[in-house]
Structure 1
Amino acid sequence: MAGIKVHGTPFSTAAARVLVALYEKEVEFEFVLIDMRAGEHKKESFLALNPFGQVPAFEDGDLQLFESRAITQYISHEYASKGTPLVTTDSKKMAIQSVWQEVEAQKYDPVASKLTYELAIKPFLGMVTDFAVVEEFEAKLGTVLDIYEKRLGQSKYLGGDCFSLADLHHLPTVDYLMATQAKKLFECRPKVSAWVADITARPAWTKFLAMKAH
């Protein structure tokens, strides 16, 4: 097998998506730590892999990719026979999964990422949280999670009855937010709360957290 390399930091939600997908697929990889505080993601050597100067960057042999959700799609298809099936070949099921992957990317993530920055990243960096922004975006996230609560009353997971990329892509921001005051938004919705407990208990996520802790 051609060697897979993931360039990034496990503290990046985008890099985390890729790492968890690899753990779910039980595919071996090499992790190349990028020191973002030292500006390594803006150096020419890294920009050759991701011209936008953001993590992650991904290599599989002579294939180079960036954008985390595109990378997880590739991993899921290229290594379809290994580990957890994260995508389906059934066209109708695939369409439903794709809808909820888009919901994550377009509706959930912009709001969740803003809250993650205000409630988790800013305190970590010694910056002051803007609670007016938090209040605004907690309301926005609540609106999205109301839709999730209804959806999860219809199927066990967002994309259907099986865990898929539609669920996996949420894990990094969910993990950050569940350690902040925003956890109440997940916990007060029974179906959402059960879904969070389910996806965060997965062995692949546990492996990722162990990696992140080192």
Structure 2
Amino acid sequence: MVMKVHGAVISTATMRVFAALYEKDLEFLFVPIDLRAGEHKKEHFLALNPFGQVPAFEDEDLKLLESRAITQYIAHVYADKGTPLVCEGKPMATVGVWMEVEALQFDPLAVKLQWELVYNPRLGMATDAAVVEENEAKLAKVLDVYEARLSQSKYLGCDCFTLADLHHLPALTNLMGTPLKKLFDARPKVSAWVADIVARPAWAKVLAMRNQQ
């Protein structure tokens, strides 16, 4: 059986899973879920993800939810395929730390900023300047920490591209298309890291999927 990803190409969480699969050169079937029609709240999808959020993932009899858990499954179970994405021994602990940093420090701010600067304008809704100002300042402090970390290694977890970097790609790509690009450009190590990871061939395939919709 081919692995299945139930989700939406505009979903950053779904894109995260696509990126891992493409990095691993794995075949998969994309099952589009119509978010605007509320398909993610329908009974057939809730059987896969009871929280009604994309993506949901199937690999034979295994069903998973939560994008970061899915990418870790892909990285570990298909360790012999494509890009390693994880490390063995002590370096994996550092990769794990930066995966947590992405989920707990970077992403909550990125979500709020994407809504105000990317999604609300598309939906014809006003941008809340106060929300942007508050979270931009917080993101700047997080990126200062990233700048220091990237002065010690080429990538966040180690000197190899891993899930710690990959997990940033969807939100990072969206933010780079907004005025907040200046925050990344102002930090040389961060800027070089961004340029490196967004140029990966696997990520280009994910963007091509999104652009076809």
Tell me which interval the TM-score lies in, with the shorter structure as reference length: over 0.9
* SS of the residue 1:53 aligns to: coil
Partner of 2:211: 213
Q: Secondary structure at the match of 1:126?
A: coil
Amino acid at match of 1:66: L
1:56-95 maps to which residues of 2 (within 5 A)? Answer: 56-90=55-89, 92-95=90-93
User: Match of 1:117, SS?
Assistant: helix
Other structure's SS at 2:147 match: helix
Gaps of 5+ in 2: none
1:106-185 correspondence to structure 2 within 5 Å:
106-185=104-183
TM-score (norm. length: structure 1): 0.98
Q: Deviation at 1:113?
A: 1.0
Alpha-carbon offset, residue 124 of structure 1: 1.0
- SS of equivalent to 1:211: helix
Q: Percent identity?
A: 69
Runs of at least 4 residues of structure 1 off by over 6 A?
none
Residue 48 of structure 2 aligns to a residue whose secondary structure is coil
* Counterpart code for 2:92: M
* 1:96-142 C-alpha deviation (Å, 9 max, x unpaired): 00000000000010001110111001111111110110000000000
Could you say which residue in structure 2 is the equivalent of 1:3? 2
Report the residue type matching 1:126 in the other structure.
G
Query: Given the two structures, how large is their TM-score scaled by the length of structure 2?
Result: 0.98
Paired amino acid for 1:48: A
RMSD (Å), alpha carbons = 0.6
Counting matched residue pairs gives 212
Name the SS of the counterpart of 2:30 in structure 1: strand
Which digits, 9 at most, give the CA deviation of each residue in 1:68-104, with x for residues without a partner?
00000000011111000001122x1010000000000
Alpha-carbon displacement from aligned partner over 1:32-88 (angstroms, at most 9, x marks no partner): 110000000000000000000000000000100000000000000111110000011
- Measure the CA separation in 2 of the matches of 1:33 and 1:183: 30
Q: How does 1:15-54 map to 2 (within 5 A)?
A: 15-54=14-53
- Look up the equivalent residue of 2:45 and give its one-letter code: F
Corresponding residue SS for 2:140: helix
Q: 1:203 aligns with which of 198, 201, 204?
A: 201
Opposite residue 8 of structure 2, the aligned amino acid is T
Give me the whole-angstrom Cα distance separating, in 2, the residues matched to 1:10 and 1:161. Answer: 30
Other structure's SS at 1:50 match: coil
Gaps of 5+ in 1: none
- What secondary structure is seen at the aligned counterpart in 2 of 1:54? coil
Partners of 1:180 and 1:163 lie apart in 2 by 25
